Amino acid sequence: MITELEQLELTKYGLALHTTTPELGLAISNFTGDTRSGVWHLERQLSSHLHQYLVEFIQPQTWADLSFIAVAKGPGGFTGTRIGVVTARTLGQQLDIPVFAISTLAAVAWSAYSDQYPPSLSMGLGDNIAIQMPAQRGQVFTAIYQPTPDTRGLNALFPDTVLTPEAWQEKLAHWNTSYQLIEAKSGLAGTVTSILELAYLEWLCRKRPDWSEALPYYGQNPVDPR
Protein backbone atom coordinates (compact mmCIF):
# COMPACT_ATOMS: atom_id res chain seq x y z
CA MET A 1 0.00 0.00 0.00
CA ILE A 2 2.55 2.57 -1.18
CA THR A 3 1.21 5.40 -3.31
CA GLU A 4 2.57 8.64 -4.72
CA LEU A 5 5.95 8.22 -3.10
CA GLU A 6 9.45 8.87 -4.27
CA GLN A 7 10.88 5.72 -5.83
CA LEU A 8 14.13 3.84 -5.86
CA GLU A 9 16.10 3.82 -9.06
CA LEU A 10 14.49 1.30 -11.40
CA THR A 11 17.50 -0.96 -11.13
CA LYS A 12 17.71 -0.82 -7.33
CA TYR A 13 15.86 -3.10 -4.91
CA GLY A 14 15.04 -3.62 -1.27
CA LEU A 15 15.32 -7.10 0.25
CA ALA A 16 13.46 -8.30 3.36
CA LEU A 17 13.98 -11.36 5.59
CA HIS A 18 11.56 -12.85 8.11
CA THR A 19 12.96 -15.65 10.26
CA THR A 20 11.26 -15.23 13.63
CA THR A 21 9.15 -18.39 13.17
CA PRO A 22 9.92 -21.87 11.77
CA GLU A 23 9.13 -20.41 8.35
CA LEU A 24 11.46 -18.34 6.19
CA GLY A 25 9.95 -15.35 4.46
CA LEU A 26 11.76 -13.41 1.74
CA ALA A 27 10.62 -10.42 -0.32
CA ILE A 28 12.32 -8.20 -2.89
CA SER A 29 11.04 -5.17 -4.78
CA ASN A 30 12.06 -2.10 -6.74
CA PHE A 31 8.62 -0.61 -5.83
CA THR A 32 7.79 0.13 -9.44
CA GLY A 33 6.14 -3.13 -10.37
CA ASP A 34 8.85 -5.75 -9.91
CA THR A 35 7.99 -7.41 -6.61
CA ARG A 36 8.15 -11.03 -5.53
CA SER A 37 8.06 -12.93 -2.26
CA GLY A 38 8.08 -16.46 -0.94
CA VAL A 39 7.64 -18.48 2.24
CA TRP A 40 9.36 -21.78 3.06
CA HIS A 41 8.85 -24.05 6.07
CA LEU A 42 12.44 -24.81 7.09
CA GLU A 43 12.29 -25.26 10.88
CA ARG A 44 15.69 -26.56 12.08
CA GLN A 45 17.16 -26.31 8.60
CA LEU A 46 16.92 -22.52 8.61
CA SER A 47 20.51 -21.84 9.66
CA SER A 48 22.02 -24.27 7.16
CA HIS A 49 19.79 -23.41 4.19
CA LEU A 50 19.21 -19.66 4.55
CA HIS A 51 22.16 -18.58 2.41
CA GLN A 52 21.20 -20.99 -0.37
CA TYR A 53 17.62 -19.72 -0.42
CA LEU A 54 18.81 -16.11 -0.44
CA VAL A 55 21.18 -16.63 -3.37
CA GLU A 56 18.51 -18.39 -5.42
CA PHE A 57 15.72 -15.99 -4.46
CA ILE A 58 17.35 -12.72 -5.49
CA GLN A 59 18.11 -13.92 -9.02
CA PRO A 60 18.13 -12.44 -11.62
CA GLN A 61 19.12 -9.52 -9.38
CA THR A 62 22.54 -9.48 -7.72
CA TRP A 63 23.76 -8.25 -4.35
CA ALA A 64 24.97 -5.08 -6.07
CA ASP A 65 21.37 -4.27 -7.03
CA LEU A 66 20.28 -3.88 -3.39
CA SER A 67 19.81 -0.43 -1.85
CA PHE A 68 18.74 -1.63 1.59
CA ILE A 69 18.01 -4.70 3.71
CA ALA A 70 14.98 -5.11 5.98
CA VAL A 71 14.63 -7.77 8.67
CA ALA A 72 12.02 -8.83 11.20
CA LYS A 73 13.74 -8.09 14.51
CA GLY A 74 11.23 -9.94 16.72
CA PRO A 75 9.52 -10.74 18.91
CA GLY A 76 9.56 -14.39 17.94
CA GLY A 77 11.66 -17.48 18.35
CA PHE A 78 15.08 -16.75 19.84
CA THR A 79 17.23 -18.75 17.42
CA GLY A 80 15.38 -17.79 14.25
CA THR A 81 15.29 -14.12 15.17
CA ARG A 82 19.02 -14.11 15.91
CA ILE A 83 19.84 -15.83 12.60
CA GLY A 84 17.81 -13.34 10.59
CA VAL A 85 19.23 -10.26 12.27
CA VAL A 86 22.82 -11.53 12.07
CA THR A 87 22.37 -12.32 8.37
CA ALA A 88 20.90 -8.87 7.67
CA ARG A 89 23.70 -7.15 9.60
CA THR A 90 26.34 -9.14 7.73
CA LEU A 91 24.83 -8.28 4.34
CA GLY A 92 24.48 -4.64 5.28
CA GLN A 93 28.08 -4.44 6.43
CA GLN A 94 29.49 -6.24 3.38
CA LEU A 95 27.36 -4.31 0.87
CA ASP A 96 27.62 -1.00 2.75
CA ILE A 97 23.85 -0.41 2.64
CA PRO A 98 21.29 0.48 5.34
CA VAL A 99 19.63 -2.23 7.44
CA PHE A 100 16.11 -1.60 8.77
CA ALA A 101 15.10 -3.75 11.77
CA ILE A 102 11.29 -3.89 11.80
CA SER A 103 9.06 -5.18 14.59
CA THR A 104 7.28 -8.46 13.90
CA LEU A 105 4.19 -7.00 15.54
CA ALA A 106 4.36 -3.83 13.48
CA ALA A 107 4.44 -5.96 10.32
CA VAL A 108 1.27 -7.75 11.44
CA ALA A 109 -0.42 -4.41 12.11
CA TRP A 110 0.62 -2.99 8.72
CA SER A 111 -0.53 -6.13 6.95
CA ALA A 112 -3.94 -5.94 8.62
CA TYR A 113 -4.26 -2.26 7.78
CA SER A 114 -3.15 -2.75 4.18
CA ASP A 115 -5.62 -5.59 3.69
CA GLN A 116 -8.45 -3.21 4.56
CA TYR A 117 -7.26 -0.24 2.51
CA PRO A 118 -9.22 1.81 1.63
CA PRO A 119 -10.34 1.62 5.25
CA SER A 120 -13.57 -0.27 5.81
CA LEU A 121 -16.20 0.46 8.42
CA SER A 122 -14.36 -1.92 10.76
CA MET A 123 -11.15 0.09 10.67
CA GLY A 124 -10.91 3.81 10.06
CA LEU A 125 -7.85 5.94 9.55
CA GLY A 126 -7.85 6.96 13.19
CA ASP A 127 -8.31 3.50 14.64
CA ASN A 128 -5.58 1.87 16.68
CA ILE A 129 -4.37 -1.66 15.97
CA ALA A 130 -3.68 -3.76 19.06
CA ILE A 131 -1.51 -6.82 18.46
CA GLN A 132 -1.00 -9.76 20.78
CA MET A 133 1.17 -12.82 20.24
CA PRO A 134 1.80 -15.81 22.51
CA ALA A 135 5.08 -15.69 24.41
CA GLN A 136 6.78 -18.16 26.72
CA ARG A 137 5.72 -18.92 30.27
CA GLY A 138 2.11 -17.91 29.77
CA GLN A 139 2.86 -14.32 28.81
CA VAL A 140 2.01 -12.39 25.65
CA PHE A 141 3.90 -10.02 23.37
CA THR A 142 1.80 -6.90 22.94
CA ALA A 143 1.79 -3.58 21.08
CA ILE A 144 -0.61 -0.91 19.88
CA TYR A 145 0.00 0.91 16.61
CA GLN A 146 -1.76 3.64 14.69
CA PRO A 147 -1.42 4.35 10.96
CA THR A 148 -0.04 7.82 10.34
CA PRO A 149 -2.46 10.40 8.90
CA ASP A 150 -0.71 10.24 5.54
CA THR A 151 -0.88 6.40 5.61
CA ARG A 152 2.87 6.26 5.19
CA GLY A 153 3.79 4.22 8.23
CA LEU A 154 2.84 3.43 11.80
CA ASN A 155 3.15 5.22 15.10
CA ALA A 156 3.86 2.99 18.10
CA LEU A 157 1.41 4.22 20.71
CA PHE A 158 2.31 1.33 23.01
CA PRO A 159 5.66 -0.20 21.97
CA ASP A 160 6.37 -3.93 21.90
CA THR A 161 6.13 -5.18 25.47
CA VAL A 162 5.84 -8.53 27.25
CA LEU A 163 2.89 -8.68 29.64
CA THR A 164 0.80 -11.19 31.51
CA PRO A 165 -2.60 -11.75 29.87
CA GLU A 166 -4.20 -10.01 32.83
CA ALA A 167 -2.01 -6.92 32.53
CA TRP A 168 -2.69 -6.76 28.78
CA GLN A 169 -6.44 -6.96 29.31
CA GLU A 170 -6.20 -4.19 31.86
CA LYS A 171 -4.22 -2.07 29.39
CA LEU A 172 -6.88 -2.55 26.72
CA ALA A 173 -9.72 -1.92 29.17
CA HIS A 174 -8.27 1.49 29.97
CA TRP A 175 -7.31 2.38 26.39
CA ASN A 176 -9.23 5.55 25.61
CA THR A 177 -9.55 5.25 21.82
CA SER A 178 -11.12 2.68 19.52
CA TYR A 179 -8.94 -0.21 18.44
CA GLN A 180 -8.98 -3.44 16.50
CA LEU A 181 -7.45 -6.42 18.33
CA ILE A 182 -5.45 -8.88 16.23
CA GLU A 183 -3.94 -12.15 17.42
CA ALA A 184 -0.68 -13.02 15.70
CA LYS A 185 -0.51 -16.79 15.86
CA SER A 186 0.52 -18.29 12.53
CA GLY A 187 1.66 -17.38 9.04
CA LEU A 188 3.80 -14.53 10.29
CA ALA A 189 6.50 -15.11 7.67
CA GLY A 190 3.88 -14.08 5.10
CA THR A 191 4.10 -10.54 6.48
CA VAL A 192 7.62 -10.24 5.07
CA THR A 193 6.15 -7.96 2.39
CA SER A 194 5.00 -5.65 5.19
CA ILE A 195 8.52 -5.73 6.66
CA LEU A 196 9.77 -4.57 3.26
CA GLU A 197 7.11 -1.87 2.86
CA LEU A 198 7.66 -0.42 6.33
CA ALA A 199 11.40 -0.29 5.70
CA TYR A 200 10.81 1.42 2.36
CA LEU A 201 8.63 4.04 4.01
CA GLU A 202 11.49 4.80 6.40
CA TRP A 203 13.91 4.88 3.47
CA LEU A 204 11.69 7.45 1.77
CA CYS A 205 12.00 9.59 4.88
CA ARG A 206 15.75 9.59 4.22
CA LYS A 207 16.54 7.30 7.14
CA ARG A 208 19.69 5.28 6.51
CA PRO A 209 20.38 3.16 9.61
CA ASP A 210 23.81 1.59 9.81
CA TRP A 211 23.96 -2.20 9.99
CA SER A 212 25.24 -1.95 13.57
CA GLU A 213 21.94 -0.35 14.65
CA ALA A 214 19.92 -3.46 13.68
CA LEU A 215 19.34 -5.27 16.96
CA PRO A 216 17.00 -8.17 17.76
CA TYR A 217 14.07 -7.78 20.13
CA TYR A 218 13.61 -10.97 22.13
CA GLY A 219 11.38 -9.63 24.89
CA GLN A 220 12.16 -12.60 27.11
CA ASN A 221 15.19 -14.62 28.11
CA PRO A 222 15.26 -17.88 26.12
CA VAL A 223 15.76 -19.77 29.39
CA ASP A 224 13.46 -19.38 32.35
CA PRO A 225 15.62 -17.72 35.05
CA ARG A 226 13.69 -19.60 37.71
- Cα distance between residue 106 and residue 83, in whole Å: 20
Q: What is the pTM of this model?
A: 0.89
Contacts of residue 30, Cβ cutoff 8 Å, sequence gap at least 6: 7, 8, 9, 10, 11, 12, 13, 14
* The pLDDT of residue 15: 98
The answer on 201 and 147 residing in a single domain is: no
| Residue 150 pLDDT > 80 | no
Q: How buried is residue 147: exposed, middle or buried, by Cβ count under 10 Å (0-12/13-18/19+)?
A: buried
The answer on 72 and 86 residing in a single domain is: yes
Contact 110, 197 (CB under 8 A): yes
Domain with residue 204: its CATH number is 3.30.420.40
The answer on 132 and 26 residing in a single domain is: no
The answer on 92 and 22 residing in a single domain is: yes
Q: How many CB atoms lie within 10 A of CB 138?
A: 8
Contact 26, 192 (CB under 8 A): yes
Domain with residue 178: its CATH number is 3.30.420.200
What are 153-185's pLDDT values in tens digits?
A: 899 999 999 999 999 999 999 999 999 999 998
The answer on 207 and 126 residing in a single domain is: no
Structural domain of 158:
120-183
pLDDT band at 90 (very low <50, low <70, confident <90, very high): very high
Residue at 114 is within a domain: no
Residue at 63 is within a domain: yes
